[in-house]
Structure 1
């Protein structure tokens, strides 16, 4: 087992004032340091009440000490937890005692990094620690917990095993070049490659859903002034978030609100109406609208249902980024004969609503969800794993190598090379094939004390 060269310490509870606060020690000197600070005997895995003393034998705090001997601890090293009172001053005092006795302040994510380096978890599980902490919806919490438990890694490792077995077989064919075509056929290599590709697609489907649960999406409301953008935002959020008046141009700065659709967090931006104006303040708002549009995944283009879409809306559409999804919203159907409905037109969906009377908002939510999930037949009862962009990139690289491998099915050398690239890409997810730069970037996202 990998051993750390020193002992680290940090406050592991959130900043502020609370009933309980925790200072954590991890490393070879953790127990020795704790014995110089507390009174009484420290028994492994037994909660013991102790006084915490400074160098002058003055009581700094009182609380519980827990000792987890290696290797059965979070980090795989000796771990001590001082569970005292939750004031920042007293916690800093206990932390300084640990440092005075020879520990050093932990770097961001160093406890979890040591757990990874000591084989207590793989890289995907380590990343899930911070995902559990940062989750903004209960669905995201559940999905991150699935990854933390190792279920995502089990899927990846199962796929990796199949890739390695196939690669070993293909490379064995290299020793018999005159018979390699027969070996490829007899080993059902093409069928096995296609099966692996199908499995990658399934994992990608679930992983993309998990990525949405983690990262969410940005949605921007755009349209003419007084078309009902602020009213729609209020309906989606469920409160009077934006000011609604009959005066055009009320919204100047983009108003961001957080909502959740089937567990997917969305940042919805109500923006200034896009129109020609001499009002310098409104012009600044319109400029910020275009900035919000550039960073969004979906543009909800609002249209007055009593007037329909015209040259104004067509001009807006022509100026939108090519990678943004467009959802047409026909508002104010309470003034027409239209009913709430969803209509497909030219590969874009149109939703007819009344933001004023809360009509068709459920159809709008479902349309947003369909766009976010790619319209896939995703089964909500399936296990979802929190996935990161790098996981998606790695799975896409695996898929690309498999496609290239199929193109080179008549050449064992080229096929073996593509299988090696696929294996390396897949291994990077769990950390079996990862650079120090990648590890540094991942664990730098953590807070100190985790």
Structure 2
């Protein structure tokens, strides 16, 4: 059944700008087959054979040729949106594509054809059960992938790998709920449900599988979003040199003059396919220079938003009083790595040291390296991967979003509470059942079986027009 908002829609489905090929896509919605046939006749001069590529002219209302190209007709339900779809593949010039688009709107005036909103074609695919919500999001993630690893993981999600794991987990939760609620319905049965049905064992299996999926999703989210890494420290400790060494290019100006960097310099690099957004910042010190003070204020703003802070020190002097003051202002909860740079000027070469912090019950990682000589850079890269929780060789990850992680963590919390109620035996079976129901709702929200319209609007509004 078509959704109630299935107006006929049209859009240019290829990216803005010039290209060899441009695509105009029409999804006919509730206007149906009659409108599709009328449009084909008006635009191409003939009714096209389903799922066959036809080389035809695209004509205006007077019969003049606007362009020539390939026309494809996909009858419902065997199309991307699940509706009758027409695709016109012509030359990729902006003007000619606009002419074809306007001709489509003109020919579709009788059945109220309108321009599509961002993501509306994929939203139709979701509403018509061609894709679930996780797969629909993977379409946008595949388009936006910034690394090969991210593209491969988005492809796995689009193929349904993530959704299949979620559906299998939901099936296990439903099976356990059925056992629990059946026992609640027949309290006269004198059996120990938790023992006879192995409820604890089934719940333990669910929790183990949930932990595994969350781990995969965390790595997938890391591939999608990357880490924000801020280089911070006093002037002239080698922050710009380290940025250049990590990037493998001369991106930032390097001089022996303190305060050379007055504003942030951002570069995205890859380590094992993970995007790292490395931000070089102004040196932190007291200054009367108004421009430098603005740069320092921006440095602290970037530190507040960082996923990781690299606190650069001069290896010759180590942690000075000024560095202690700087470290004391770092936000709590953000991993900080002390990087002792310029080891080429000291007798001790590159290495990694870990020791307990005297200020808090946390481990401090110190990495000695020489950014100028590119020595010890691999030690820093390995530490960043460790902080990110990346595991080498994990080809099976699927690209995930923050909302997926939130739902999986909530499901974890509900199954943990269910386990606690299971330890209290029969008198808590109703609470056990309720926590399982809530866990199921969280998991269903990932694939869209339980999703608010507001969430759908937020998700699809971020898609590009024509997709």
Asked if TM exceeds 0.5, the reply is: yes
In 2, distance between residues paired with 1:31 and 1:363? 64
| Runs of 4+ that moved beyond 3 A | 178-181
Task: Write out aligned runs for 1:280-359 (5 A).
Answer: 280-346=290-356, 347-359=363-375
Q: Would you say 1:54 and 2:60 are equivalent positions?
A: yes
1:403 paired residue number: 416
Match for 1:97 among 82, 94, 103? 103
Structure 2 gaps of 5+ residues are 357-362
**Secondary structure of 2:175 counterpart:** helix
Question: How big is the shift at 1:323?
Answer: 2.2
Structure 2 CA distance for partners of 1:379 and 1:235, relative to 1, 3 Å: closer
What is residue 9 of structure 1 aligned with on the other side? Answer: 10
**Greater alpha carbon shift after TM alignment, 244-253 vs 40-49:** 40-49
RMSD: 1.3
| 1:122 and 2:132 are equivalent in the alignment | yes
3-state SS of paired residue (1:267): strand
Paired residue for 2:43? 37
User: How many angstroms does 1:381 deviate by?
Assistant: 3.4
Q: Match for residue 386 of structure 1?
A: 399
Q: 2:431 is matched with which residue?
A: 414
Q: 1:190 aligns with which of 200, 203, 209?
A: 200
User: Bigger CA drift: 190-199 or 363-372?
Assistant: 190-199
- In structure 1, the residue matched to 2:388 is 372
Tell me, what secondary structure is at the counterpart of 1:174? helix
1:408 is paired with a residue whose SS is helix
Instruction: Give deviations 1:348-393, integer Å, cap 9, x for gaps.
Output: 21111000100000111010011011xx7x3523401000111001
| Alpha-carbon distance between aligned partners in 2 of 1:400 and 1:381, rounded to the nearest angstrom | 26
**C-alpha distance in structure 2 between counterparts of 1:180 and 1:275, whole Å:** 74
TM-score using structure 1 length: 0.97
Indicate if the aligned counterparts of 2:57 and 2:67 stay in contact, CA closer than 8 A.
yes
Q: Which residue of 1 aligns with 2:163?
A: 153
Q: Distance in 2 between matches of 1:34 and 1:437?
A: 35
State whether residues 253 and 288 of structure 1, in contact with CA within 8 Å, keep that contact through their aligned partners in structure 2.
Answer: yes
Alignment match, 1:214: 224
1:181 and 1:288, CA in 2 relative to 1: closer, same or farther beyond 3 A?
Answer: farther
Per-residue CA distance 1:277-333 (angstroms, 9 max, x = gap): 111111111001001111110000001001111221211111111121101111000
In 2, distance between residues paired with 1:198 and 1:350?
35
Q: Compared with structure 1, are the counterparts of its residues 180 and 262 closer, same or farther at alpha carbon in structure 2 (3 Å cutoff)?
A: farther
In the alignment, which residue of structure 1 is the partner of 2:117? 107
Contact 2:313 2:319 in 1 (8 A): yes
What is aligned with 1:22?
23
Distance in 2 between the 1:104 and 1:283 partners?
52
Shift of 1:31: 3.6
Tell me which moved more, 404-413 or 130-139: 404-413
Does the aligned pair in 2 maintain the 1:11–1:449 contact within 8 Å? yes
For 1:279 and 1:318, the matched residues in 2 are separated by: 24
Q: CA deviation at 1:30?
A: 3.1
Contact map agreement 2:37 2:47 (CA 8 A) in 1: no
In structure 2, the CA distance between the partners of 1:359 and 1:304, relative to structure 1 (3 Å rule), is same
Unmatched 5+ residue regions in structure 1?
none
Distance change (3 Å), C-alpha of 1:181 and 1:319 = farther
CA distance in 1, matches of 2:12, 2:302: 38
Per mean C-alpha deviation after superposition, the further-off stretch among 92-101 and 339-348 is 339-348
Structure 1 residue aligned with 2:213? 203
Question: Does the alignment pair 1:237 with 2:253?
Answer: no
Q: Which residue of 1 aligns with 2:379?
A: 363
- SS of 2:42 mapped into structure 1: helix
> CA deviation digits over 1:217-270, x for unaligned, max 9?
111000110000000000111111000000000000111111111111111110
SS of equivalent to 1:19: strand
Contact 2:40/2:46 (<8 A) preserved: no
Deviation, 1:177, is: 2.7
Aligned: 1:272 with 2:282 = yes
Shift of 1:72: 1.1
> Normalising to structure 2: TM-score of the pair?
0.94
Identify which of 77, 83, 89 aligns with 2:83. 77
